[in-house]
Structures are given as structure tokens and as C-alpha cells.
Amino acid sequence: MKQSEKQRQRLRHVRAEQLNSASDVSSEGSISPEVRRVQKVEETSTTQTVPSRKRVPPPPPPKPPHSIFGTGTAHQQTTVASEPHLRESSFSSVYSNFPQTYSTLHTYNTMDSPASSDYRSAISSRPYFPRPRPLSPARYSSDGGPRVLKMVSECSSISSRPMSPYPGSTAASAIRDAREREKKEMSELNDRLANYIEKVRFLEAQNRKLATDLDFLHKRWGKDASNVREMYETDLRQAKKLLEEAQRQKNELEKKAKAMGDEMETLMKKHADALSAHDEDKKLMEELLLNLSSLEAELGTLKRRLGILEDDLKALRRENQHLSGETHKARTDLDQETLNRIDYQNQVQTLLEEIDFLRRAHEAEIQDLQAMASRDTTGENREFFRNELASAIREIRSNYDALDTRNRSDIESWYKMKVQEIQTMSARQNLEQNYAKEEVKRLRTQLGDLRGKLADLEGRNSLLERQVEELAYQLEDDQRAYESALNDKDSQIRKLRDEAQALMLELQMLLDTKQTLDAEIAIYRKMLEGEEDRSGLYQLVEQVVKSQNIRRQDEAESQRVLRGEKSSRQSYQRSAKGNVSVLETSPEGKYVVLENTHRSKEEPIGGWKLRRRIDGKREIMYTFPQEFVLRPGKTVKVWARGQGLNAPPDQLVSDGEESFGTGSNVQTLLYNRDGEERASLIQRCSGR
């Protein structure tokens, strides 16, 4: 590298000296065909593009009798650009420098240098010359703008062959005829001639520099040939790979461009349909607004009526409560009276049955006595029956007295037992009352403590409420800051994308420049290896023209590639009403990922439905298992059928479609068991 840098500096110094010496050379003479071929090479590599304007084609110049590769007199057709303030007389100085230029080039090319094919020339690029471009057909402008003239110059050869029938005065006569046809173009031709003189001088300096390079290469013969060959072969392989990759990308982008063109037509149709639907919706909206205004007025009237009815309802409710209390009291009294009536009825029934029983017994006894009295009516019998009756009465009385005594003792014992029970109950009630009093005292003490704690908790609650409000305000501030940061981030991303696109364009331009420089290096290497015959130089000219055409095609393709990279734009909109959200969806429709954003709470999503709508037409649905629970901070990936493995609770596989679908407008929605939307992810892809 150090030797190459020294070599470049040395060659630059030599070129500067040769330029200075070439500016003093001015001699008359003829130009050989070889020099004209060198001139044609330089003109082909330095041709400039003239600004496109409306021009009128000039009359055709006279045709030469022989081709550029014929013997005898040589004819050369050149395209000349315009620069100001030079004259026609400078042609002789241009052609006088060509013999020396070609002699240097001839000496450099004819030397036997086997390692020169692998040598990279140290010639630097010409910063003050624009990159060669093909000229548009020469036209004349009527508005005084830049014009181009095709000029035919004739020069005789310095060899001993016979002179051409077209001497050097033909060029001057052609120029005079052209000036007579259009005098205004002479200044432009002179300007172009001055530019051409500078290029010829530069070519002379390059030839001298190449001779110096050749001498230097003879000194270090065969040292760097293998390294240069390997370097060129590596560059060629990389260039081939880049060319194949560019061709592949070109084919892919052409397919994408065709598909996007079809999609754009579909979207245009949808846009037209959407506009018509929008107009219809606008009319419908106006009608709905009118209906809404009438409904709002009716709603106000109904609200006032509702207020009046609510007041009446409150009064009726109070009256209903009063009547309900009265009804309850009356029902209680009715139940008590019913119980009393039933008790009295039972007592009456018992007494009636007892009276009936006694009556039947007495009647039977009276009948027996009457029967006995009717059978015997004597005094003895009457006395006997009287005594029997008295004894029976006494016996009955004694029985009743005994029964009364027994009943009285039973009643007294029962009353004593009841009194004892009442006393025992009273003692127990006293104990319970004392316990209740102690419990009341304890509860009162506990109530006082609880009231104190309640006051403390109320104060703490108010403090926590204030903290919640502050946190809510802080959350709003954080959300605004997050949105602002997100907007800044989006702007930075857009800026970085623009910079990346600019860098891609600059990189493509640098690659094109590199290819151009590599082509020029290859041309100069072939110039070093070329022969003296005319066919070698002619092939060199054709290669230069082909390389320029290829470079322009590569530039156009690279611009199309860069434009293709900006042809689409994707946007995502995510929302969630709880802890479960849609985290990610596959661009190919292979899977959908859900996430539980809570850190400690599990989310039972069994029976929930995952719906995916494709371009508003197709809908795909998946239902989660009934007992499925999404753990806190975890995710679950739902695969389409045949796209993944079923490994609950982290991975599930759908039994439905083989893909969740793809499109330009995809909506992924999550519904709970009640059909309420809990989360959504909307993906849109639009052209740009």
C-alpha cells in the first residue's frame, strides 16, 4: 500500500509536468489513423449530455469516402459540446499533439510485459470531468439555448501513402458553411473545441504517466502480479454474486410490483365503493340526526313525566309501608283471635261431650230405677230401694270425693312442679341476664375500640384515596409522557428510515461508481495489453460503450429497487379491557399469541372465543378449552392446524383451519363467554 501511494504521488507529479509541457506544444501536421482511434476512445469516454430542449436538426455533413479503419485519408465524426470564447484556428493545435500522444501509447503497448494484465493502474479519477453519458441527437434551438453541431474533420496521414482526395481544408470549408448556415453556433463550437483540447492534453499526460508506470513495472517485474490477480478475481466473484442477487431481487420485486398493481386496482374499486357508501351513510346520518333531535325532545318530556311519577311512587311506597304495617298487625291479631276461638271451641266441645255423657248415664240409671220401681210397688221394696239408692248415692259421693281428692292432689303437684320449673327458669334467666349484661359491657367496650379504629381507618382511607387520586393524575401524566415519547420514537424511526433509504441510495450510487471504476481499470489494463492493430482499439471502444449502457441500466434498476422498498406500510392497533391481551400474530397466519399482563392473578379463559377477520370477508374462530387458565405473566400460543405442537398450557393447536389467514386488513378479536370483546389487534397494510 505504501508503494502504491508513492507510485500515485510520483505519477501525479509526472502528469503535472507533462501537462505543463503539452500546453507549449503547437505544430502542424497530419493525424494518423491510430491517433484518430485514440481520439475516438477519449471522445466516447468523455461525451456529455446536453440539456433537453426543442431543437431543429441541422443539415447532414458531407460523407467521407472511407471508414475509420481504412487506409489513406482518415475521416472522423465527433460530437462536440459548447463552451464560450474559442476560435476555429485551434483545430491545428489539437491535431498537432496527437502524434506525440500516440507514440507514447504505442511504446507502452508494444513492450513485452506479461505481468501488466494483473496490474491495477494508479491513475486517479478526473474530478473536473463529468461522468460520460451519451449525447442526444443534435438539434438546433430557436430560443438561443445550447446547440450541438456534428462536424466532419479531414486530416492526411503522415505515412508515405497517396494523399486523400479530401484535404484538411474540407473541415474549414465545412465549418465556414456551417457558420454561414448558422453563425451563432460558432461560439458554441469553439467552446466545445476548448474542452476537447483540454481532454487531449489530459490524454497526453495520461500516456506519459502510463509510460512512467511501465518503467516502474519493469523494475518490479512479477512481484505483485499474483496478488493483483487474486484481488481482481475476488472482486469479479463478488461482482457476479452481487449481479445474481440483484437479478433475483429484481425478479422478486417485479412479481411483487405486479401483485401490488392488482391489489391497488382492487383497493381503488373498494375506495370507490367506500366513497359511495360514505355518501349514503352521510345522508343516513342526517336523517338519524333529525330523528335524534326529535327523540331527545321526547326524551326530555318523558324525563319530566318520569320525575312526577317517581314522586307519586315514593308517596305510594310510604303509604304501602304504613298499610303493610297495619296489615301485619291485623294479621297478628287475627291469628291470636283464631287461636283463642279454637281453644274455646275445644273447651265447649269437651264440655258438651261431658254433659251428653252424664245425661245418657243419668237417663240410663233413671230408666233402671223406674223399671225396678215398676216391678215392685210394695212398701218393703220401696224401703229397700230407698236404702239402696241412699247407699248408691253415698257410694257415688265417696267416689266423687276420692276422685276430687285425687284430682286436687294431681293439680297441686302439677302446679308445684310448674312453680318449681318457673323458679328454675327464672334463676336461669337471671343468670342469662347477668351474662347478657356482662356481654353488653364487653360489646360496649369493644364498640368503643372499634369506633376508635374506625376513625383511624377512615383517616387512612382518606389518605389512600388522596394517594389514589395522585396516582391517577400521575398515571395520566405518565400516559401523556408515554404517548409523547412514543410519537418522538415514531418520528425518530421515520427519520432513521429516511436516512437508511438515503444511505441505501448513496450505497447504490457508490456501487455503481465502483463498477464504473472497475470497468475503467479493466479498459486501461486492456490498453496496456492491447496490440497496435486497429481492431484491438475498435473493440476497446465498443467495450466502453457497452459498459456505459450497462451502468445506466444498473442505475435505473437500483432506483426501481429503492422505490420498491417504499411501496408498502404496515400499522398495528392493540387494545385490551382486562389483563388478557393479544400480544402477537404471525404474518403468515400460523399462530396467535395471548398474554396475561397481571403479575399475580390468574385469568380463566376457558370457553373464550378467538376470532380473526380477514379483509372484512372471511372469519376464523377458535374456542379455548373449558378449564383452561392463563397463568400470571405467561403467554399462550395458539397454532393453526398442522403448524405446531399441542403442549398446554403454553401451546394449543386449533382443530379448524390450517391457517389463521393473511390479508391487508386483519382483525384479531378475543371474546369472553358473554360475548363481550376483551382484547383486539388490528393490522393494516397500505400502499405508499
Contact criterion met (CB below 8 Å) for 659 and 643: yes
In angstroms, the CA 276 to CA 482 distance is 39
pLDDT at position 13: 65
* Residues 6+ positions from 203 with CB-CB distance below 8 Å: 38, 42, 101
pLDDT at position 160: 37
Domain assignments of the chain as residue spans, ordered by start:
2-223, 225-375, 415-558, 568-687
Give me Rg for the CA atoms of the chain. 61
pLDDT at position 377: 54
∠ CA 526-22-131, nearest 5°, is 50
Neighbours of 148 (CB within 10 A): 24
DSSP E strands in 490-606: the ranges are: 568-576, 580-585, 591-596, 603-604
Per-residue b or e along 30-69, where b marks 16 or more CB atoms closer than 10 Å to that residue's CB: bbbbbbbbbbbbbbbbbbbebeeeebeebeebeebeeebe
pLDDT at position 144: 39
In angstroms, the CA 670 to CA 397 distance is 99
pLDDT at position 544: 46
* Ranges of the chain whose pLDDT falls below 50: 22-167, 531-538, 540-542, 544-567, 688
pLDDT at position 213: 85
pLDDT at position 378: 61
- Residue showing cell 335524534: 292
**Backbone φ and ψ of 532, nearest 5°:** -80, -15
pLDDT at position 18: 57
* Residues 6+ positions from 662 with CB-CB distance below 8 Å: 587, 588, 589, 614
pLDDT at position 83: 38
Query: In this structure, what is the dihedral angle of CA atoms 299, 302, 304, 309, given to the nearest 10 degrees?
Result: -150
* Residues 6+ positions from 411 with CB-CB distance below 8 Å: none
Query: In this structure, what is the dihedral angle of CA atoms 95, 96, 99, 102, given to the nearest 10 degrees?
Result: -50
> What's the sign of the alpha-carbon dihedral 200, 204, 207, 213?
negative
Q: Regarding beta strands 74-80 and 149-155, do their DSSP bridges make them parallel or antiparallel, or are they unpaired?
A: antiparallel
Q: State the first-to-last Cα distance of the chain, in angstroms, to the nearest integer.
A: 47
∠ CA 87-91-93, nearest 5°, is 105
User: Which CATH number does the domain 568-687 belong to among 2.60.40.1260, 1.10.10.60, 3.10.20.340, 1.10.579.10?
Assistant: 2.60.40.1260
- For the question of whether the overall pTM of this predicted structure is more than 0.85, the answer is no
